[in-house]
Structure 1
Amino acid sequence: MAKIILKSQFTVSSKQSLFNFVDYVTRNQALKDKKKEQTLSDTEEKELERMTQLLSDSEFSVDDVYSDYIDYMKREQATLSEDDHYLKGVFSSSQTKVRREDVRELKQEIEDVTRQSRMGSVMFQDVISFENDFLIEENILNSKTNALDQDRLYKATEKMMGSLKENEKLHDTFWFASIHRNTDNIHLHICSMEKNNTRELKEVADGQFEVRGKRKQRTLDKMKLAFGQELTSPTYRLQLQTSMTNNRDSLLKDLKKTYETEVFSDNRSFLTEINTLKKELPDNKFNWQYGKLKPDTQKRVDRLTDVLTQKSPERMRYTKNVDAYATYLKELYGESAKPDEYLANKEQEIKTRLGNNLLNNLKKDHAVINHKVKKMLDDLPVHPKEGRDKKEIQKKETPKIEARPKASPYHSRKNMAIIKKNLVHDYDMKRAENDYEQTQYRIAAAQQRQSYDYHH
């Protein structure tokens, strides 16, 4: 089971049902506080029992559940303890502590929003729940005093609401939240709205339209990730991320070192594989990039990089840390963190980096490799033996024809000008090639950072 759970719904409704929700999140906690102080009346005790039972059946309700006890909720003096000026465990987008008069202002704001919108208003309702052991581990809940670090919950909620606003492209939003302890696990109720609705309309019947309230699943997943990253201690997460980066960089260095050893030691088997790969690469070296290769060519590159890194201890360390981070995500957020997708993305990322590393080395050593491959082929024995003998005899019997001496290309001013022009052209081409490669590298790095940011 995930340590952080998000349940979400929305209400497109009248102002009265939205009022009920605001009253509920303040009233329920007030009753719990009064019970601790042993100041509940018999009627309030029954109300609290009924609310707890209703919530055990469903985390959500607005019209059906809340309307039955709206009379009690409107008794605003019951939402405050006698010696406390602020509502306990309640905060909003503008205040870390909420007073009784602030609730009245919030209701007025909701009334203004619903009055302005003829098609109804959307209230997003979210419930974040936790395992209490997790809150204790993170030093958010004190197991001895039962005290809760409300400031950390506020900051995490603020981060989550920012993620909602960004991913759903909302404007001028406000939200209201309350910490509840009326179930086995502590949970947080949050309601949010736009002051001026910008959501698209959908047709619910002939000529009748309603504001679209459903949010994308991707939005909800990012909301939970934003909440968890702000709430949890970053120590372990940063430790794993730093280790992965160091392992990856060391692995790239190991690949280059092994590559140079194999090439310059004239390893025939390796040179043969490299020569086969080069035949499959595009003619234009600008396109010697892993992401631009055909799938079969990418697989050949993968086989070569696997060979070059198979003895590197950094490969195993990198894989171990990636697996540990995927496990961390799954334990914290559950399947909504998409741990399998994270593993697949990291595997593709390391293949791409290793592949580009190899391809860059091939471009740099292009002439050297060609020379070594040619020398290797020239050194191979010629078969059959008769063919070799025949070739040698023909060589002996063929009369030598003295070649006419070639005129020096530097003989005339015209030739010198042509050579100079070609040299300048070659220099410009080389510089353009280098600029292009740098640009492509920056684009690939940006794409990898975007993929990385999704899971961080």
Structure 2
Amino acid sequence: MVGVVVVSKFITHENANEFSGMVDYMDREEAITNNNISLSIKGVELNIIERKLLSVINSTGSTDINTLVKDENLKNMICFEQKLFNKKEKLTRYDSNYIFKKFFNKNGEFLIENIEKSFSKTRKNVDTNELKKEKTRINTRLKKLESLNYVAKNEDNNYILNEKAKEEMKNFSGFEFTIYDSNKILKLVRDNKYLKSIQTKLSNDLDIGTKEGKYNYDYINKRINNNIKFGYIEEKNGKLEITEKGLVAEDKIINPHRKFIIEEIKDLELKSDEFKREKEIVDEKYSVINKLEYSGMIDYMDRKKAKSNNSKEDIGLFTDNKDLLDLTEKNKLKNLFNKCQNNGGIMWHDVISFDNKFLEKHGIYDSKNKVLDNTKLKEVVRDSANEMLKKEKLNESAIWCADIHYNTDNIHVHVSTVELNPSKTRGKRKPKSILAMKSKIVNGITNNNEQYKKINDIIRKDIIENKKKVKSLDNIKLKKLFLEIHSKLPDDRKQWTYNYNTIKHVRPLIDKMTDIYIEKYHKKDFLKLKEELKKEEVNLKEAYGEGKNNSYKQYYDTKMKDLKTRMGNTILKEIKEYDYNLNGRKIKKNFSKAERKIFVKNSIVAVCLKKIDRIMDNSYEHSKNQRDYEKSQNEIAKNEIERN
């Protein structure tokens, strides 16, 4: 399962009639499908069966096995490729219970005359042509069985059974549900619910006064009794019903390639669940967008058939500050999209596809009643859209609109963004921006803030803060490394920062100190941290999928690196204090009276400068906050004017 998939596109003003056409496109009555199938999934070449399977999935819009097994082309292709079953390549029940038992004697020798005897036993008159056809069928099969080493020819050029055949015949003893039961017996039960009515029908249809009629009547009744005995049919007060076991067995007969298709779908999902989700989105035929106005996307997003939902809440287009746009607001938005296009701007379009089970797990979707928490999802989309604006540094004139769609297997959200005063000439966005957008979505849905806080508290409060209370020089192992690091650090104390390139030669020693300290003082905390990180890794894998780079593992590595960095800087700070006490005070003692006055004066100046810096910082922050507040007030006023 991949919880969230994001597919992003962009359209330039040269490639569309009007940006407002995107609005109309998003509100069209039906989604357009596309039958073009990619020949590979993330570099993995698909074989002919996989390509055909994807084609059927694409044309039907579903991966439901009941839909797929109805496709005759797919069925024929699978049978032709012999990937599922090839009964002719091994001994079958037909070989064991019909050919071997009827036409071979106790010594295992083939008797061709038994074919004629079998025919005459069940038929009043033996049809010469039918008998000839039966002999040909049996001889053809015997040749195949000879090539498979089940039979061989003796000196008289007659077929005899091998030990291999005798041994495998044991596997076919007893009753087996066959195509005859599916097509004949179960059909009888469906057409005639009562055993009495079945007997009446058989008596009317079969001439039981003849050998053939009596044989068929007895055989059918024997099959009915065996179906009852082995649980494929159930008898209650003379009434017959097909059991669940019978339905499953029938399905295997009718759709023998069902199991293979299920396995193939699973294989495709293993290759990339994201591919199917992305394909589902791309199959809405974005090439059509290029023929539309930018504002057509708004109508496309707002089309009714994509938004059927049992929720009592209103559903439709929403923006950063509006939960549901009315017709007037929608038209205003379309005009703004066209303004962007007329100004030579770019329109970005993102589709966020959710795994419904992922949404349900986190309490946002009720699959039973098909109800979605629109309010929560809109909140998440807002955060992600605004994060994308921030990461891409789009200017203040950027606006976006979004809508939630339900017309595919996965609930998904369309988000379209434009700049009224274009600042970008390049449509392609940084991968980090899309990832940041996706991260906001995942965090918003999973409510990972609490989990992240728990992890950060273990690192910062439980481990790092306590290190400040523990003196490295009080521990023999730590002291030895502490002094060694101090002796190898450069003279410039400004460079004594963990990630500074000039101290990379002592970084392994610092990490070793970290390991010793954690093992000695925080073993349980570290185990708890790893446990929490592994939990989060599972959550992220579920949300992001495995992907090419296994990005879900990055969080674990990042947090471990964060721990080492913070511990490293804490150790280096302790070394700085040690160095100051060791060298700084010695310098003071050696000062002359005049030098001491200068030192004190400089120290006072340094303190004053620090205070001034703090005052300036506070003043700047206050000024910045004031500007932000005024800006938000202006935006509110602007929105009021637009509404009126």
Which of the five TM-score ranges fits, normalised by the shorter chain? 0.5 to 0.7
SS in 2 for 1:185: coil
Contact 1:128 / 1:189 at 8 angstroms: preserved in 2? yes
Q: Residue 514 of structure 2 corresponds to which residue in structure 1?
A: 305
Shift of 1:121: 3.9
Shift of 1:300: 1.6
Alignment partner of 1:333 is 2:541: no
Q: Distance in 1 between matches of 2:387 and 2:538?
A: 24
Give the counterpart letter for 2:327 in structure 1: R
Larger relative contact order (CA 8 Å, sep ≥ 6): 2
SS in 2 for 1:91: coil
Distance 1:142 1:353, change over 3 A: same
| Structure 1 residues 189-268: aligned runs within 5 Å | 189-200=414-425, 212-230=426-444, 232-234=445-447, 236-255=448-467, 259-260=471-472, 263-264=473-474, 267=476
Q: Residue 37 of structure 1 corresponds to which residue in structure 2?
A: none
Q: Residue 563 of structure 2 corresponds to which residue in structure 1?
A: 350
Q: Distance in 1 between matches of 2:16 and 2:335?
A: 10
Shift of 1:187: 0.9
Give the counterpart letter for 1:252 in structure 2: I
- 1:362-392 alpha-carbon deviations (Å, 9 max, x no partner): 343459889xxxxxxxxxxxxxxxxxxxxxx
SS in 1 for 2:393: coil
Distance 1:87 1:64, change over 3 A: farther
Alignment partner of 1:122 is 2:346: yes
Please list every run of 5 or more consecutive structure 2 residues that lacks an aligned counterpart in the other structure: 33-57, 63-278, 584-588, 614-644
Distance 1:309 1:193, change over 3 A: same
Alignment partner of 1:154 is 2:362: no
Shift of 1:100: 3.4
The count of corresponding residues between Structure 1 and Structure 2 is 348
Distance 1:21 1:430, change over 3 A: same
Q: Distance in 2 between matches of 1:435 and 1:347?
A: 39
Q: Residue 499 of structure 2 corresponds to which residue in structure 1?
A: 291
Distance 1:228 1:428, change over 3 A: farther
Q: Residue 484 of structure 2 corresponds to which residue in structure 1?
A: 276
Shift of 1:328: 2.8
Please list every run of 5 or more consecutive structure 1 residues that lacks an aligned counterpart in the other structure: 32-48, 201-211, 371-415, 440-456
Q: Distance in 1 between matches of 2:551 and 2:607?
A: 38
Distance 1:161 1:428, change over 3 A: same
Aligned equivalent of 1:320, options 531, 534, 547: 531
Contact 2:485 / 2:510 at 8 angstroms: preserved in 1? yes
Q: Distance in 1 between matches of 2:303 and 2:550?
A: 43
Q: Residue 448 of structure 1 corresponds to which residue in structure 2?
A: none
Q: Residue 5 of structure 2 corresponds to which residue in structure 1?
A: 5
Give the counterpart letter for 2:499 in structure 1: G
Q: Residue 411 of structure 1 corresponds to which residue in structure 2?
A: none
SS in 1 for 2:322: coil
Q: Distance in 2 between matches of 1:60 and 1:98?
A: 24
Distance 1:160 1:355, change over 3 A: closer
Q: Distance in 2 between matches of 1:127 and 1:310?
A: 47
Contact 1:5 / 1:129 at 8 angstroms: preserved in 2? yes
Q: Distance in 2 between matches of 1:221 and 1:360?
A: 35
Q: Distance in 1 between matches of 2:303 and 2:538?
A: 48
Distance 1:425 1:351, change over 3 A: farther
Contact 1:178 / 1:188 at 8 angstroms: preserved in 2? yes
Q: Distance in 2 between matches of 1:113 and 1:284?
A: 54
Distance 1:245 1:99, change over 3 A: same
- 1:32-71 alpha-carbon deviations (Å, 9 max, x no partner): xxxxxxxxxxxxxxxxx99969x84834434538979x9x
- 1:135-160 alpha-carbon deviations (Å, 9 max, x no partner): 22222222332122222222222222
Coordinate RMSD, CA, aligned: 4.4
Give the counterpart letter for 2:536 in structure 1: Y
Aligned equivalent of 1:360, options 573, 576, 599: 573
Larger Rg: 2
Contact 2:16 / 2:290 at 8 angstroms: preserved in 1? no
